Amino acid sequence: MSGGVDSSLTAALLVEQGYDVTGIYMKNWTQDLPGMKCPWADDLADAKRVAVQLGIDFKVFDFQKEYKQKVVDYMIEEYKAGRTPNPDIMCNQEVKFKLFLNASMEDGADMIATGHYARTENGVLKRAVDDNKDQTYFLYRITHDALQKTLFPLGGMKKDEVRVQAKKRGLFTATKKESMGICFVGSVGIREFLSQYVQTEPGAILDMQTGKVVGEHDGAIFFTLGQRHGLNVGGGLPYYVVDKDMSKNEVYVTRDLNDEQLWRKEAKLSDLHWINRGQYKDKKLQVRMRHRAPLIDATLKDHTLLLEQPQRAIATGQSAVIYESEVVLGGGIIV
């Protein structure tokens, strides 16, 4: 239980369905940074308040050390290498559906349940009914065994319906706002967070076509392929990031949205993960290149996705998640 509306309603629904429910708050990150207050204490209090209202046991699992190593350090190192990682995916893989799952089983649980918008059936992961809130992109690295021990009670509901049902049950979290920042630091943005851990230096922003310096940045790690906002350049017309050189601390931009360096028809993947065994190579599949991006047709050749339509701003370090209709097959890291 995170203290939000989704996990609150999840617990309430399970109680109503006759499960013996214990609410667990994962204590992953508690550090305050300069000008940035970590909301963990407030979230813990909210989760505990809901547990009391539902009349269920409540516990705290402390994963701070492991979370720092597996998620935060990973994210920082990836950005330092010039890639754009997704800490939510790593959190699900290493913490929620490994550490938390195992700790819950050792504590006597038969199953775990989360407030994710996804569906599972016999170890198969499926997209949520609410396509706008579907979170399977972040869940593709879960194992088949973990899914067999997991419930997603909200997978068949729309977000608006979740709030209505929470309000109907008198859960005060029904009107609580969603956190929009990094998964573990509340409303803090990635730039603000990274600046506390990585020493950066100003560098040049260069026009890819002319080679001329058109602006200055405060650290190449803060920029990702296709980025338009946050570029300190003049001229009136928008620029888009097309590349960066970490060794030179340079960012390269273009004004041409159709620049061939912004578009790719294939994506090579590393660290491929399949939820269930199957033959997926040379087969027509669908792929999602980022959260909430549309599903596009693709074929997998060895470790390379061949895309039916060229896609803009495919960033290294992000995940490509592979689907067959509503079923999540797996995916890999874009290189």
Residue numbers annotated as active site: 91, 183
SS3 of 178-241: the string is CCCCCCCCCCCCHHHHHCCCCCCCCEEEEECCCCCEEEEECCHHHCCCCCCCCCCECCCCCCEE
Q: How far apart are alpha carbons 251 and 203 in whole angstroms?
A: 8
Q: Which amino acid is at 258?
A: N
The pairing of beta strand 240-245 with beta strand 112-113: unpaired
Rg of the chain's alpha carbons, rounded to an integer? Answer: 21
Which positions ≥6 away from 194 have C-beta within 8 Å?
76, 79, 219, 221, 222
Q: How far apart are alpha carbons 322 and 303 in whole angstroms?
A: 12
Q: How far is CA 266 from CA 138, 170, 334, in A?
A: 21, 50, 10
